[in-house]
A and B are shown apart, each in its own frame.
Chain A
Amino acid sequence: MGSLAFESQTLSSETMAIDREEDIVHVRKRARMLAQARGFDAFACAALTTAASELARNVWVHGGGGQATLEELSDGNRFGIRMVFRDQGPGIADLERALQGGYSTARSLGLGLSGTRRLVEDFAIDTRPGEGTRVTITKWTRF
Chain B
Amino acid sequence: MSRKGPIPILRVGNVLLTTIHIDLQDTIAAAFQEDVLTEIEKTGAHGIVVDISGLDEVDTHVARILAETGAMARLMGTRAVLVGMRPEVAATLVRMGYAMGAIETALDVDDGLRLLGGRPKG
Contacts and interface: CB of A to CB of B under 8 A. Distances in A.
A50 B58 contact: yes
A25 interface: yes
B95 A54 contact: no
Interface residues of B, number: 21
Interface of B: 23, 25-26, 56-61, 63-64, 86-89, 91-92, 95-98
A14 to B, nearest CB: 20
Interface string A60-77: 000000000000000000
Given A46-B91, A53-B61, A57-B61, 7 more contacts: A47-B92, A50-B92, A53-B57, A111-B60, A111-B96, A115-B60, A116-B96
Contacts of B86: 42, 46
Given A21-B26, A50-B58, A109 B98 contact: yes
A28 B92 CA distance: 15
A4 B23 CA distance: 42
9 contacts: A24-B25, A42-B86, A42-B87, A43-B92, A50-B57, A50-B59, A108-B61, A111-B60, A118-B97
Contact of A21 (B25, B57, B87, B92): B25
B57 A109 contact: no
Interface residues of A, number: 26
B97 A114 contact: yes
B25 A49 contact: no
A118 B95 contact: yes
Contacts of A115: 60, 95-98
B25 A25 contact: yes
A46 B61 CA distance: 15
Given A111-B96, A115-B97, A42 B88 contact: yes
A32 to B, nearest CB: 8
A83 interface: no
Contact of A111 (B56, B91, B98): B98
